Structure 1
Amino acid sequence: MFKKHQILSVGILLATLLSANAMAQNAVIVNGKSIPKAQLDKLVQRSGQPDNPQVRGQAREMLVTRELVLQEADKRGVLQNEIVREQLEQARMGVLVGAVFEDYIEKEGVAEADLKAAYDSVKAQYTGKEYHVEHILVEKESDAKAIIAQLKAGASFEEIAKAKSIDPGSAKNGGDLGWVSDKALVPEFSKAMVQLKNGQTTDKPVKSQFGWHIIKMIDSRDVKAPSIEEMKDQLKQMIMSDKNWQKAKFAEMMQKLRAKAKIQ
């Protein structure tokens, strides 16, 4: 038979274990109202931030604030206020309308005609030429002239660029800038570049705000737009963010809903 103090000790132990288990399942208890740990986990996950004590602490405070406001709203009876109830219903409907429309767009997708129209408007922007060029950049005009003399004597443009160019982005690649538009470069560089023929190098140094350039033209071509398949995701985002398209698509959705509905 257990003695009274043994029964009391067991009771205390059980109460402690139950309390610890409840705390493990709850994120916080506010005025006796338990907020489950699962709710805290979900809030942290939705925040998009790394799961760490600081983020959890901020999320916990947010849950406490929310619960305190809800409790105070109940205590003050504001939920019985007709205006408040109408505003809450409007907010609820706003969320539902947005969710239904988003699901409709996801399932219906963007019409091929809309994609083609968007592609044609973007494609029209791909005009002019682009150039594949190399350059050597130095600080002094005298150094640039000396390099031009070396190139005329048969020296390797790429090797000199690696050894002497002060442009950190292209020097390691032998001065190669890849394919560029004349609009993407400083005016002095572009003006000299577009006058070169394929394989030709500037016979005089070109001055810009960065220093003195020796430019070599590798090739040139007409600007070519990416295919519609390559731009499909970008086009969809562009179309779906257009307010006029959204209005037209919403009207289309509502028209379909009304056509299927029995309205008396």
Structure 2
Amino acid sequence: MTFKPAHLLVVLLVTAFPAMAADNLATVNGKAIPASKAEPFLKQALAQGQKDTPQLRAMIKDRLVGTEVLLQEAEKAGFSKSEDVKLQIEMARQQILIQSLMRAHVEKNPVTEADIKAAYEKWKTQMGETEFHPYHILVAKEDEAKAIISKLKSGAKFEELAKQSIDTGSAGKGGDLEWVSQGNVPPAFGAALATLKKGQFTETPVKTEAGFHIIKLDDVRPLKLPTLDELKQQIGESLVQEKVQLYQQALIKKATIK
């Protein structure tokens, strides 16, 4: 079989890289770059959908050569002896080790479809079936809240009294919190909402970590939640993070710390 020169060049490029597997990819100022260093980059590129071509392999080689040139220059400049650089390298080393540990733990204890579904159902229960449109006035002291409630009972306008709310985000809007569900407000706030009818306000202050609230219910409507499929990835990532945190907590608890 006879090859044309252009075809022969392609064949040589295709076969050259594998042949160098046990050899060096290049030498830079006398320092060898093992061909094995290219394999992780090649695998990553193929995993991202790129095709194994002579051009790809040449690009990887150029990247490794460029990196080696810069590393040698950094060494020559003495950066490897810098305490700040040493600290950054150590921090990077620790981070890589920790990430490897956590990745291995998650691989041994994967999040299952059942886990994701159970988390979704729990979240749905917490969110409830109703969405509320509340207004509120938030104050720092219970006596202030009681005084405002007395004024409301005497006919004062809720929107006017809301101007003194310490919740600056809603004070200028008459206390409007827009649409919320019980799952995304403090428990005491959500419980109070559930007892109100349209147009009613709480006749006793509702205490949360933020202070004391007077809550008025403007309207209600059925709550439309995203489907399991829509939240599947987000829930899975959250559960993985939870596993990592629990694993860390367990290791800390087991450790001897003085």
TM-score by length of 2: 0.45
